[in-house]
Amino acid sequence: MNSWIITGGTKGLGRALAEELLDFGQGVIFCARTAQDIAHTVDALQARGSIVGVTGTIADPWVAHQLVAQARERFGGVDGIIANASVLDSPPLAPVCELDPLALQSVLSVNLFGALHLIQAAHTWLKQSRRPTILALTSDAAHSTYPGWSGYGLSKAALEELVLTYGKENPEISTLVIDPGDMDTALHQEALPQEPPPSRHAVTVAKALKNLWQEPRPASGRYILTDDPEGLRLQEVSLRVKAVAD
């Protein structure tokens, strides 16, 4: 059985991805900070397959090592990691002139360093997998200059750089950064409480990502999910700006 580590598996997209992976016969190890939510998630999903929860913040390298240790013990290795857990700035969405460097550090410690801890802890085991995959969830805030979103946006831009560079260094590992678009989740509600919830649901997004554990796999790179008449579709996006001759 292949094993997947998901950061932030109790809510939103992380939870929906855990359900999809279990239904596809994969083993799931996930973390979140709230022990009660972990217990509820394991209770709700264990009938669908093999799932293990680890309590703690992915900002703590020890949690990353625990996730990998559990994957090795229960499934004999690590085949995929999903860097999903994210936080907003605290207080959410401060303009640059009010951005508290300590708050920025705390956003980076989850959104960027969480992925780094997990990649470093899982690297040896990913190299031994027959089908290693890394998926990092990103946002259009990484490449758009939305007022008030600098902390979150730069954490996602740095995450993309980190993960895609790791993919170039390890071409045998399928490495994807995916912007799922606006979804009706707790994170979106926290960021934009005054806006109506988006029509896109985490469960629909997770189903659209099934190619990650089925064949043919998408090539390493950066993707967005676009709405097609048949449903959501992964579309690769190039961020390279071509020089235009005058």
Ligand X SMILES: NC(=O)c1ccc[n+]([C@@H]2O[C@H](COP(=O)([O-])OP(=O)(O)OC[C@H]3O[C@@H](n4cnc5c(N)ncnc54)[C@H](OP(=O)(O)O)[C@@H]3O)[C@@H](O)[C@H]2O)c1
Residue choice 2, 3, 139, 220 for contact with ligand X (CB under 6 A) = 139
The nearest distance, CB 180 to ligand X, in angstroms, is 5
The nearest distance, CB 126 to ligand X, in angstroms, is 20
Report the largest interatomic distance among the alpha carbons of the chain, rounded to a whole angstrom.
63
Q: Closer to ligand X by CB, 1 or 186: give it.
A: 186
19-27, 56-64, 97-105, 115-123 -> range binding ligand X (CB under 6 A)? 56-64
What is the torsion angle, in degrees rounded to the nearest 10, for the CA atoms of residue 51, residue 43, residue 37 and residue 191?
70
> 119 exposed, middle or buried (CB, 10 Å; 0-12, 13-18, 19+)?
buried
Q: Closer to ligand X by CB, 128 or 199: give it.
A: 199
Residue choice 3, 133, 185, 220 for contact with ligand X (CB under 6 A) = 185
32-40, 124-132, 217-225, 234-242 -> range binding ligand X (CB under 6 A)? 32-40
Residue 70 binds ligand X (CB under 6 A): no
Residue 39 binds ligand X (CB under 6 A): no
- Close Cβ partners of 98 (under 8 Å, ≥ 6 residues apart): none
- If binding means CB under 6 A, how many residues of this protein chain bind ligand X? 32
> Which of 114, 132, 131 is closest to 123 using CA atoms?
132
Residue choice 57, 120, 170, 204 for contact with ligand X (CB under 6 A) = 57
Residue 65 binds ligand X (CB under 6 A): no
Q: Which amino acid is at 149?
A: W
With tokens 């900070």, the residue in question is 33
Backbone CA torsion sign across 52, 57, 62, 65: positive
Residue 110 binds ligand X (CB under 6 A): yes
Residue choice 12, 27, 53, 148 for contact with ligand X (CB under 6 A) = 12
Q: Closer to ligand X by CB, 1 or 239: give it.
A: 239
Whether the bond between 229 and the residue before it is cis, its omega within 30 degrees of 0, is no
Within positions 221 to 240, which residues make up the interface with ligand X, using CB under 6 A? none
Residue 11 binds ligand X (CB under 6 A): yes
Q: How far is CA 85 from CA 21, 59, 236, in A?
A: 17, 10, 22
How far apart are alpha carbons 153 and 162 in whole angstroms?
14
Helices 101-111/113-128 angle, 10° precision = 20
Within positions 79 to 108, which residues make up the interface with ligand X, using CB under 6 A? 84-87
Bridge partners of 225, per DSSP, are 234
Q: Which two tokens stand for residue 55?
A: 């309590």
Q: Closer to ligand X by CB, 148 or 180: give it.
A: 180
| Residues binding ligand X (CB under 6 A) | 7-14, 31-34, 37, 57-59, 84-87, 110, 137, 139, 179-180, 182-183, 185-188, 202
